[in-house]
Amino acid sequence: MANMTRPIILRLAVTENEKELIVRKMQQIGTKNFGAYARKMLIDGYVIKVDYTQQKKLAAAVSRVASNINQICRRINSTGHYYEDDVNELKERQKEIWRLLKSSQSEEL
């Protein structure tokens, strides 16, 4: 033990499902040595960090627009009448949703 080339020990706890996934991936690359596999993945593996900030902003904006549309529809349903202003506002809200979606899509590209 005194002559170990790797004196620092790292441990991790996994669920049974996670263990099965690890074993399957080890089989895919043809290794049975967990230490070597873990070392290789921890050092050379990819880290993917996804930023959902724009999607969250878009979802909040669409939610606000949808809420406005619902308020207009409730007003129309309660009175049984609709007004040209209501129809125009619904159309404008729909255009706003499309603008938000197109803006989000163009930012991602």
Report residue 25 CA to chain centroid gap: 24
pTM comes to 0.47
Q: How many domains does the chain fold into?
A: 2
Q: Of the candidates 60, 66, 71, 73, which has an alpha carbon nearest to the alpha carbon of residue 104?
A: 60
Cβ contact 47:97 at 8 Å: no
Taken in order 89, 92, 97, 100, the sign of the CA dihedral is negative
Question: How confident is the model over 56-99, as pLDDT tens digits?
Answer: 888 888 888 888 888 888 888 898 887 888 788 878 888 887 88
Of 4-8, 27-31, 90-94, 96-100, give the range with the top mean pLDDT: 27-31
Q: Are 89 and 72 in contact (CB under 8 A)?
A: yes
Same-domain status, 62 and 37: no
Q: Is residue 59 domain-shared with residue 94, that is, in the same domain?
A: yes
**Which residue has 């074993």 as its token pair?**
23
Does residue 33 carry a pLDDT above 60? Answer: yes
- Residue range of the domain that includes 21: 13-46
